[in-house]
Chain A
Amino acid sequence: GEDVEQSLFLSVREGDSSVINCTYTDSSSTYLYWYKQEPGAGLQLLTYIFSNMDMKQDQRLTVLLNKKDKHLSLRIADTQTGDSAIYFCAGEGYQKVTFGIGTKLQVIP
């Protein structure tokens, strides 16, 4: 099955860019996702990328996909305190979506 790994913690200053990285194992993953979990809440889809794309941009968010290295990243430009949350990478393998353990992003004012 799919294995998704990501670092546990990232700290950035407000206004800087944040880059959250993720690696996955299933090269047949059709879609890769980024979810955001705010304190006390469930996960919410931020963005996703289809496996035949290298990059997807959505306002302050940029997703980069390197299929060869099975590496996915999420860049948040001009990080705000409201971006403080846990970010989950997820890969869609056969019949199910597998989530990483989540990266806690701390934004320092």
Chain B
Amino acid sequence: DAGVIQSPRHEVTEMGQEVTLRCKPISGHNSLFWYRQTMMRGLELLIYFNNNVPIDDSGMPEDRFSAKMPNASFSTLKIQPSEPRDSAVYFCASSSEGGGTSEQETQYFGPGTRLLVL
């Protein structure tokens, strides 16, 4: 398996523009996570899906952020409009368990998307 695939790897945009980040989880995994990593705040969980359903979006910063998972093999994280403080590395991760099963959950991370909002 190719692992978790994220695109684009790098994105530079201007304030106010819409940004869409994409993720393809590992085939067969039923949980998907979006994280944001910054120097100041470390790794923050934004939202996670289990069986394509959003389970916990309490980490989504504000209404400018939205995430979708239309099917088991694809998810998007959208920022509209983007702001300079959104500059960060955004990671997608997937696991084969989730939803409170109490089973050991190894999360497999993608390489991340480095977002710079000018």
Residues of A within 8 Å of B111, CB to CB, are: 40-42
Report whether B45 and A96 are in contact in the complex, using a CB–CB cutoff of 8 Å: yes
Report whether B107 and A97 are in contact in the complex, using a CB–CB cutoff of 8 Å: yes
Q: What's the nearest-Cβ distance from chain B to residue A48, in Å?
A: 6
Report whether A42 and B112 are in contact in the complex, using a CB–CB cutoff of 8 Å: yes
Report whether B102 and A30 are in contact in the complex, using a CB–CB cutoff of 8 Å: yes
| Given known A-B contacts A42-B110, A44-B109, A96-B48, A101 and B42 have beta carbons under 8 A apart | yes
In this complex, which of A50, A88, A95 has the most chain B Cβ atoms within 10 angstroms of its Cβ? Answer: A95
Residues of A within 8 Å of B56, CB to CB, are: 95-96
Q: How many residues of A contact B (CB 8 A)?
A: 22
Q: How many A-B residue pairs have CB under 8 A?
A: 52
| Given known A-B contacts A30-B102, A94-B100, A95-B99, A45 and B45 have beta carbons under 8 A apart | no
Report whether A99 and B42 are in contact in the complex, using a CB–CB cutoff of 8 Å: yes
Residues of chain B touching chain A, judged by Cβ–Cβ distance below 8 Å, are 4, 35, 41-43, 45, 48, 55-56, 91, 93, 98-100, 102, 104-112
Residues of chain A touching chain B, judged by Cβ–Cβ distance below 8 Å, are 30-31, 33, 40-45, 48, 50, 88, 92, 94-102
Task: Provide a sorted-by-A list of 12 A–B residue pairs whose CB atoms are within 8 angstroms.
Answer: A30-B102, A42-B109, A42-B110, A43-B93, A45-B108, A50-B104, A95-B55, A95-B56, A98-B45, A101-B41, A102-B42, A102-B43
